[in-house]
Structure 1
Amino acid sequence: MSIALVTGANRGLGLETARQLVAAGFDVYTAARDGGKAARAAEELGARPLTLDVTDDDSVAAAAALVEREHGHLDVLVNNAAVRSELKPAADVGAAEALAVFDTNVIGVIRVMHAFLPLLKQSGRGVVVNVGSGTGSFGRVHDPARVESRLVEIPYTASKAALAMLTVQYAKAHPGLRINVVDPGRTATGMNSLPGVQPVEAGAAPIVRAARFTPEDPTGGFFDAAGASPW
């Protein structure tokens, strides 16, 4: 049975992604910074709880050590954990709130990748899905026909653009893995600031599709529900 780990799996897209992976036959770790919430999610889904705070080096290292002890490898990593600051005019955004967003959405991914890359390589078919956003796509924010072009939001959008570049760099550095970014679309999770949201089941579907990529599938790409998406 393939082993998968989903960060921020206690609610929203993370919880639904874990649910769909369990249904697809994966042995899933529901990772969350609050151990109690991770345990409740795991009990609900028939998964394994894992305490993992992506903003804490020791927490991430301890989580990786536990997975190594229990399995010795990891087949799928879904970097879903993310935060969004209060929506306000760009001129009112300060450094402290920007740092908090980047610490989770960008540096947090680096922490997790650093700790889990050895286990993904042990898989022989390791897959990483970074949960991105259309608001981090330069192609979309410059397209007046797209709703993303009408949103001005710092620092969340910048963090998702940075995540896209991280995805490309990791994919280039580790060609034996499948490492991609997925835009789930405007999903009703409580974090979305764009109109026209879809149910969480629909948002998780392209994430799970990319999580099931094989070595013959693309790496270093940007995908959404329709397939390959503009950067």
Structure 2
Amino acid sequence: MDDTTTALVTGANKGIGYAVAAGLAARGMTVLIGARDAGLGEKAAASLRDAGHDARAVPLDVTDPAAVRDAARHVAAATGRLDVLVNNAGISGGAGHLPDEADMDVVHRVFDTNLYGVIRVTNAMLPLLRRAPAGRIVNVSSGTSSMAAMTDPGHYFWDTPASAAYPASKAALNMLTIQYAKRLRDTGILVNAAAPGACATDFVLDFTRLTGRTIERTAEQGAAVAIRLATLGEDGPTGGFFDDDGPVPW
């Protein structure tokens, strides 16, 4: 990867997404800050520019097909290609989505962002990724999507309340990652899912209330695995699910 490499990170105005964008910018990439709120996206991009990096804001609501198409046109006009796509934008839907009591409107919104949004953005950006010499797609998943962990009485996920929303959407995202990897295996584009772990960001407030766990992991620590997958060499894996320690059991 050289200093002409361009990366788009969705949901990048704060939290893990911002940390991923900052990490990629520190590696010399031009970073496009995808954010639903244009003002917050520009603020995040400005903070990276103040640090000496090439960062630009791209208004992007992953649930809005027209906004996704506009973002793809913006990227094409600005850079002509896309080397790295990090699908980070995601929502938890809040707490309390027991499968037998689920609010289907909330479940739909979670899947619309966490799964369907990834399809919208990836498909819109694929023509630009195909122009890159070594395209990389990273889907930010979650350790809560691991069926192995959820069904292991020795894992702390065993005692977390059941949910029809967030973990289910991320498990579906893992399978989607595999399907994109299959589809693109002959193109040189590597597609992987990352489990950043629970980090001390606004996103995990519901998780901490449900589990009583104190979260000390930083957004920068959580971003490390996504950054690693975004900068894989040509012999890197594809269709995998990884955290800091390596492959995560499905």
Distance (Å, rounded) in 2 between the aligned partners of 1:11 and 1:42: 11
Q: Does 1:49 align with 2:52?
A: no
In the alignment, what sits opposite 2:9? 6
Count of aligned pairs between the two proteins = 231
Distance (Å, rounded) in 2 between the aligned partners of 1:196 and 1:215: 38
Q: Does 1:117 align with 2:126?
A: yes
Instruction: Please state how far the C-alpha of 1:24 moved relative to its aligned partner.
Output: 1.2
Distance (Å, rounded) in 1 between the aligned partners of 2:80 and 2:94: 40
Distance (Å, rounded) in 2 between the aligned partners of 1:154 and 1:66: 35
Instruction: Please state how far the C-alpha of 1:224 moved relative to its aligned partner.
Output: 0.2
In the alignment, what sits opposite 1:129? 138
Aligned residue type for 1:117: L
Query: 1:58-207, aligned counterparts within 5 Å?
Result: 58-88=66-96, 90=98, 91-151=100-160, 152-175=162-185, 176-192=188-204, 193-194=207-208, 195-197=213-215, 198-207=217-226
**Is the 8 Å Cα contact of residues 19 and 220 (structure 2) preserved in structure 1?**
yes
Q: Give the SS at the match of 1:184.
A: coil
Gapped regions of structure 2 (runs ≥ 5):
50-54
Aligned residue type for 1:15: Y
**Distance change >3 Å, CA 27–CA 92, structure 1 → 2:** same
Q: What do you get for the CA RMSD once the two structures are aligned?
A: 1.1
TM-score normalised per structure 2: 0.90
- Give CA deviations for 1:9-42 in whole Å, capped at 9, x if unaligned: 0111011111111111111001101111110000
- Give CA deviations for 1:192-228 in whole Å, capped at 9, x if unaligned: 2152421111101111111111221000000001111
Gapped regions of structure 1 (runs ≥ 5):
none
Query: Which runs of 4 or more aligned residues in structure 1 lie more than 2 Å from their structure 2 counterparts after TM superposition?
Result: 194-197
**Is the 8 Å Cα contact of residues 133 and 182 (structure 1) preserved in structure 2?**
yes
Distance (Å, rounded) in 2 between the aligned partners of 1:126 and 1:227: 21
**Is the 8 Å Cα contact of residues 85 and 155 (structure 1) preserved in structure 2?**
yes
**Distance change >3 Å, CA 166–CA 89, structure 1 → 2:** closer
Q: Give the SS at the match of 1:167.
A: helix
Query: 1:19-58, aligned counterparts within 5 Å?
Result: 19-46=22-49, 47-58=55-66
Distance (Å, rounded) in 2 between the aligned partners of 1:89 and 1:56: 24
**Is the 8 Å Cα contact of residues 97 and 165 (structure 2) preserved in structure 1?**
no
Percent of aligned pairs with the same residue? Answer: 44
Q: Give the SS at the match of 1:29.
A: strand
Distance (Å, rounded) in 2 between the aligned partners of 1:51 and 1:164: 26
TM-score normalised per structure 1: 0.97
Q: Give the SS at the match of 1:123.
A: coil
Distance (Å, rounded) in 2 between the aligned partners of 1:115 and 1:207: 21
Aligned residue type for 1:56: D
Distance (Å, rounded) in 2 between the aligned partners of 1:78 and 1:172: 18
Aligned residue type for 1:210: L
**Is the 8 Å Cα contact of residues 41 and 58 (structure 2) preserved in structure 1?**
yes
